[in-house]
Amino acid sequence: MDATTAPHHIPPEMSQYGEENHIFEIMQNMLEQLLIHQPKDPILFMINHLQLDNDNVPKIVILGPPASGKTTIAMWLCKHLNSNLLTVENLIAKEFSSLAAAARKHYQINKRVPSMQLVRLIQDRVSEDDCVRRGWILDGIPETREQALMIQTVGITPRHVIVLSAPDTVLIERNLGKRIDPQTGEIYHTTFDWPSESEIQDRLIVPVGISELETAGKLLEYHRNIVRIFPSYPKILKVISADQPCVDVFYQALTYVQTNHRSNAPFTPRVLLCGPMGSGKSLQAALLAQKYSLVNVCCGQLLKEAVADKSKFGEVIQPFFEKDMAEYKLQEGGALGSLPCNAVPGTARMLLPDSLIMKVLSERLNQQDCIQKGWVLHGFPRDLDQALMMDSLGYKPNRVFFLNVPFDSVLERLTLRRTDPITGERYHLMYKPPPTTEIQDRLLQNPKDAEEHVKFKMDLFYRNAAELEEFYGQALTINGDQDPYTVFEYIESGIINPLPQKVP
């Protein structure tokens, strides 16, 4: 407990628990709310906050120029996320509120609501029960920087801000085709979004203020204001182009709103790379280990090291590595016949029993440097049984990646590998060709890189891949058929960004 005693070993279960249950985020949200409201009785406030459990409800702001489709997107998002829509119109339409009545009067005269009143209306609305439980979506508010700052001051902070953008000419043209359904309030368009039912078609009215001149005027004002709103929401803002079909805009908005932002929670990466032979697992693992100081655990390498070190495991493993297995098989048929192992028909070798591999792996993963720095594992597990075994022993990766490479690319990568027997230099006939024909003549190929062998290994992998993908539900699939640094960037972003939330 002194500062003088050795560094304390934090059991890995603690960090796993913290990550899985998002403890850091829970505490951070609680602290935010405490600071915003500064209640006299913090403990009671904290109890109520925890009971509400509304850390993840939608809190979205949608901004954009007139005719960009804000209201349409906002309404669709509302329906999809089962949340509440707040617009200037429905805020001032509130009944039984003197504030709303005063705002209405002002709106009728000046066509806008003063910021103070608007913010007070928003504050009241957001503290209502349904907004607290299901979240809210603000459509077109804040209109100016002043409003943005006022909303922030009362403690209302959105988690996602979407800004729609499109060239002015497109918007002016679009606005001319705008039609409104007076009953539902939905917005339709003569060209892009015409309702199919003829009774709705008959109802539609032309809204006021959509002539070119008026739209241009509104656009000018919008551009003036939006530039000064951007700095209020630095990390949570996303600009989506509105110059594409409505459905595309909606899906982009939905995906964005459902992602969590990067959090400051402490995170020790425990990465699992899966993929067929030749997909680049070893290379990616080496790059990751180098950049993030993780421990690179290659299963095959680990076993070879055990044999080379002549450790107690090494001695048990060595017989499996012997070349001439035929004689061995005859001898050992009795003793080892009862062990669970993957016997491979057609080749003379027996593969190592799972339990043995698991023991060697456990020994490595339990070492202090793996626990503290995190690890990158590749080459294991290869099927569901091995995955279950690993899981039951408590080695749960927090990021799993599947590297997809088409068969032809794998063949290209592997069958063209050559080694120079004299210098030991490794070449690739396409990616790193030997410099002189003299060297090229004497190059040899590793029998493991022969086409037959590669095909066989790939089949083996794909037979088990479906089960593995199902087991690791949160795995990310990456296209491995690109240059190594691009693949590395995809893997990095997969590790750094929080895992995507499943759509409920």
Partner 1 sequence: MEAGGSREREARNYLEKHRIMELLKYLTSVLLFIRPEKPREYLIAILEKLRIAKATGVAFPFFMDHSNITAMFDMMDSSKKGTISFVQYKEALKTLGLCPADEVLKDDGHAITLDKFKSEVNKRTQEICGRTKGKGSGSCQTAAEQPRLH
- Give the Å distances, CA to CA, from 303 to 40, 150, 260, 457: 61, 63, 39, 19
Paired residues of 273 in beta bridges: 378, 401
Task: Give least dist CB 170 to partner 1, A.
Answer: 39
Task: Give least dist CB 42 to partner 1, A.
Answer: 5
Task: Tell me if 3 contacts partner 1 by CB under 8 A.
Answer: yes
Task: Give least dist CB 391 to partner 1, A.
Answer: 17
- In the complex with partner 1, the residue whose CB is nearer, 5 or 436, is 5
How far is the C-alpha of 305 from the C-alpha of 298, rounded, in Å? 10
The residue count for binding partner 1 (CB under 8 A) is 25
Q: Which stretch binds partner 1 (CB under 8 A): 15-23, 130-138, 161-169, 330-338?
A: 15-23
- In the complex with partner 1, the residue whose CB is nearer, 384 or 393, is 393
Task: Give least dist CB 47 to partner 1, A.
Answer: 5
Evaluate whether 103 touches 113 at the Cβ level (below 8 Å). yes
- In the complex with partner 1, the residue whose CB is nearer, 50 or 351, is 50
- In the complex with partner 1, the residue whose CB is nearer, 45 or 230, is 45
Give the max Cα distance, the chain. 100
Task: Give least dist CB 231 to partner 1, A.
Answer: 14
Q: Which residues of 449-465 are buried (b: 16+ CB within 10 A; e: fewer)?
A: beeebbeebbebbeebb
How far is the C-alpha of 251 from the C-alpha of 450, rounded, in Å? 46
Which tokens is 461 given? 């992998």
How far is the C-alpha of 108 from the C-alpha of 346, rounded, in Å? 86
Task: Give least dist CB 499 to partner 1, A.
Answer: 18
Task: Give least dist CB 213 to partner 1, A.
Answer: 41
Evaluate whether 143 touches 66 at the Cβ level (below 8 Å). no
Which tokens is 478 given? 């990456």
3-state secondary structure 57-124: CCEEEEECCCCCCHHHHHHHHHHHHCCEEECHHHHHCCCCCHHHHHHHHHHHHHCCCCHHHHHHHHHH
Task: Give least dist CB 232 to partner 1, A.
Answer: 13
Task: Tell me if 14 contacts partner 1 by CB under 8 A.
Answer: yes
- In the complex with partner 1, the residue whose CB is nearer, 155 or 177, is 155
Site string for partner 1, 133-162 (x = CB under 8 A): ------------------------------
Task: Tell me if 264 contacts partner 1 by CB under 8 A.
Answer: no
Task: Tell me if 483 contacts partner 1 by CB under 8 A.
Answer: no
* φ, ψ (nearest 5 deg) of residue 127: -85, 0
Of the candidates 308, 289, 462, the residue with the CA atom closest to the CA atom of residue 377: 289
Q: Which of 6, 7, 9, 13 binds partner 1 (CB under 8 A)?
A: 13
Which tokens is 117 given? 């009143």
Query: What residues between 16 and 55 interact with partner 1 by CB under 8 A?
Result: 17-18, 21, 23, 26-27, 30-31, 34-35, 38, 42-44, 46-47, 50-51, 53
Segments in 416-476 forming alpha helices (H): 437-442, 451-471
How far is the C-alpha of 166 from the C-alpha of 222, rounded, in Å? 12
Task: Tell me if 247 contacts partner 1 by CB under 8 A.
Answer: no
Query: What residues between 189 and 218 interact with partner 1 by CB under 8 A?
Result: none
- In the complex with partner 1, the residue whose CB is nearer, 17 or 462, is 17
Q: What angle do CA 323, 277, 337 make, to 5 degrees?
A: 40
Number of neighbouring beta carbons within 10 Å of residue 34? 14
Paired residues of 237 in beta bridges: 161
- In the complex with partner 1, the residue whose CB is nearer, 36 or 308, is 36
Task: Give least dist CB 396 to partner 1, A.
Answer: 14
How far is the C-alpha of 484 from the C-alpha of 59, rounded, in Å? 38
Which residues are at the interface with partner 1 (CB under 8 A)? 1-3, 5, 13-14, 17-18, 21, 23, 26-27, 30-31, 34-35, 38, 42-44, 46-47, 50-51, 53
